Structure 1
């Protein structure tokens, strides 16, 4: 089995690659095997001989055209299994999910919540290091999930039977508000992190300035406000259902990250 792992240097992709070992074919814009969503000339080489794909869509937009074109190319190349990284709360009419569902391959869709690793490998890290987290803040909780758990579920879906045609809703074991999560990070790291409450529209504007599409920035701004207002606290059981164990806790993630000097 040869499994093409897209986004292989990203939060889940590199963990999927590590877990698959020799079966993995890692590809990204910065990998030895280059894959670029914006450059279709890189697609065929990445797909040649692959039997399965871990599909991480383009990061800056919600456009389905590229994913639909890639899925068609993958099917033509002989791929028989695709595991798509989607997200909780995605629009039921999302074209990227539809492109996978409507293909002729065995497909699995993963819909995780926001990652623990957003605090160490993504947009929240610079805020923590600057000792000021600027977000829509309130008592609403969210069950953040560890990227390692997403990767473990992805590997199971890529390598084992029983996941075809299934959507796995994934979350961590408890819902935490952003103020509570930041407080845990501050305590473990010894930092004095201030909280600044802003509307989701301000975050969306910053995302647009950072290169995100209008639609994607707006969706993320609304998602943050939904968390703030307590509309996204529900737990999902996908990790338990697939792996037969509880998902990793945010507290353990914070402890490990602080020990490794992530916020030093």
Structure 2
């Protein structure tokens, strides 16, 4: 099993695309899931898979056996630093891990907002471990519009965010996965951090216009108060911690800190990052109305 890559969060945004990428390249890797059902489906598709629990050191030790490189990603939450530290400690115990590629967050180094602080704490744990590392710091994902707003866009032609007129250099998850794969398969990008952005900084109004152009119908952006966002998050099962952390991130972006453009995708992949227009065309099926729309 020498030379194997372990992909944590294999069913998440980046993990799913990274699994697809490495599988297409016929690279030896192991995909780590949080449910036996998902791991079983992966095995049925010919993918070496395992089940991990970040709070269970035994499952992490089992997953690390024979692993040379680790792709580390954990859902944002107050336990992220502890959970990722558990994975790092398992990598140390395994003894053969030569690189940890961490999927972090935009501007983690600033520790200016809650999500940045928890990711930076985890980055420091990795740095102190003595294992060579590469931190990937992507901006907000284009695919968040599919994951969180596809239903209201399909049904009502609107998405609601407390984003004011802020600009964000959204990045395509597929680009993040391609960067991760390239970094995992090389040895010349160690002990470095890369900010990952798309090719342009867009307002949410511009996003709505781009979606309108692709879908051929009007899509609107509605700026909502923070408290309404909290209520919407709660109604969809989100925690108060997540709502507050996201509002803090939105405020950070409103202050102008999400609009910078990075050259890292171009530098690492040798091609420009995916545009929002291309993303919208590729995911048009997720936004198309499947039932009569009701006026909001």
1:263 maps onto 2:287 in alignment: yes
Distance of 2:231 and 2:135 partners within structure 1: 29
Contact (CA 8 Å) 2:32, 2:51: kept in 1 or not? Answer: yes
Give secondary structure in 1 for the equivalent of 2:257.
coil
1:67 match: 84
Contact (CA 8 Å) 1:175, 1:234: kept in 2 or not? Answer: yes
1:44 match: 61
Distance of 1:88 and 1:62 partners within structure 2: 19
Unpaired stretches in structure 1, ≥5 consecutive residues:
none
Contact (CA 8 Å) 2:57, 2:86: kept in 1 or not? Answer: no
Shift of 1:233: 0.9
1:247 match: 273
Q: Which moved more, 1:122-131 or 1:198-207?
A: 198-207
CA-atom RMSD, angstroms?
2.1
Kindly report which structure 2 residues correspond to 1:72-87, keeping only aligned pairs within 5 A, or say none.
Answer: 72-78=89-95, 79-87=97-105
1:176 match: 202
Shift of 1:50: 1.0
Q: Which moved more, 1:137-146 or 1:201-210?
A: 201-210
1:133 match: 159
Shift of 1:191: 4.4
* TM-score (normalizing by structure 2): 0.80
1:31 maps onto 2:39 in alignment: yes
Distance of 2:58 and 2:243 partners within structure 1: 28
Distance of 1:179 and 1:212 partners within structure 2: 27
Give aligned pairs, total. Answer: 260
Kindly report which structure 2 residues correspond to 1:1-264, keeping only aligned pairs within 5 A, or say none.
Answer: 1-21=3-23, 22-29=27-34, 30-32=38-40, 33-61=50-78, 63-78=80-95, 79-90=97-108, 91-92=110-111, 94-120=120-146, 122-131=147-156, 132-204=158-230, 206-207=232-233, 210-212=237-239, 214=241, 216-258=242-284, 261-264=285-288
Contact (CA 8 Å) 1:145, 1:170: kept in 2 or not? Answer: yes
Contact (CA 8 Å) 2:137, 2:194: kept in 1 or not? Answer: yes
Shift of 1:206: 4.2
Distance 1:110 1:211, change over 3 A: same
* TM-score (normalizing by structure 1): 0.89
2:292 match: none
Q: Which moved more, 1:154-163 or 1:137-146?
A: 137-146
Distance 1:201 1:111, change over 3 A: farther
Shift of 1:42: 2.3
Distance of 1:81 and 1:213 partners within structure 2: 35
Pick the structure with more helix per residue. 2
Distance 1:6 1:169, change over 3 A: same
Give secondary structure in 2 for the equivalent of 1:168.
strand
Distance of 2:124 and 2:155 partners within structure 1: 40
Distance of 2:203 and 2:215 partners within structure 1: 18
Deviations 1:184-224 (A, max 9, x none): 1233224443432213344345446634462x432311222
Distance of 1:75 and 1:20 partners within structure 2: 24
Distance of 1:139 and 1:150 partners within structure 2: 26
2:46 match: none
Distance of 1:35 and 1:58 partners within structure 2: 14
Look at both structures and tell me which one has the larger radius of gyration over its CA atoms.
2
